[in-house]
Structure 1
Amino acid sequence: MKPFIDHIALRVSNLDQAIAFYTDVLKFDFNFRTLDEEHHEAFAYLQMEGGKLELLQKLDANNRPMTYERPPVAPPFCPHLALGCADLDELVVDLKKRAVPLIEGPLIIPGEVKWLYLADPDHNIIEFVQWLKKS
């Protein structure tokens, strides 16, 4: 049996805000959301071609949102969620229209790859990559 990547999970401070960012701005499809009272977590699953994304919000003993200290946004921008795109320049135009700030890039290795970094509202790092060589 060969394993496969099922999903990646990101911690968020506000599940509604995170769902809106990932579906409206990054174009993920919404699957479902639920509350796990036993483990004091609220989470949602989103999906796009290639895999799923779990957004997880920790709750206190009364199942109310806990304070979440966002991590710093700093190089080397790891860990990060990397998403592919066919045209990074077109993506940059779209992100600017949506007032989504880039934290670095676009960067390029000529003939190989172009990429950029941005952060979600909770400082989870997202990298967009356009591979220039055809495999």
Structure 2
Amino acid sequence: MRDDHDFGDAERRDSPAIEAVIRAAGDYVVVSDDLRPRTIEAAIERQGLAVTRRRVRWAALGAALFLAVSIPWVRSYDGGGLESVSPTTAEIHRAALRYAAEANITPDWALQKVVDDLRRSQAERLGQSTR
């Protein structure tokens, strides 16, 4: 297959003829009428996306900073003077063993009784009803 313009043998042809072919090809390239408006619209859209991205980055940075400051502050908050209503696991087990010895029952049933009593007292202290 051979093209209309075979530049493989350019050495044999004169350079003004090649330049004339290239100049003639310039007449085939035509800029559309809406190129400038489309280019301006694309630039504005890109700029808008860049502004949006920048705003999202600043918002994310602000949220991260807010969380970094507020989480330690919330953790240091004492709960408005509420003391803990929950004993430790070791305290619950000691109370269950003591109750088991006093009531002469097995420790598993004593643990059940101690946990039920604890839940009931917590609900009363927090103003909730037991179910």
The TM tier, using the shorter chain, reads: under 0.3
Q: Looking at CA atoms only, which structure, 1 or 2, has the larger radius of gyration?
A: 2
TM-score, normalised with respect to structure 1: 0.19
TM-score, normalised with respect to structure 2: 0.20
Give 1 or 2: higher helix fraction.
Answer: 2
Give 1 or 2: higher strand fraction.
Answer: 1
Task: For CA contacts below 8 A with separation 6 or more, give which structure has more relative contact order.
Answer: 1
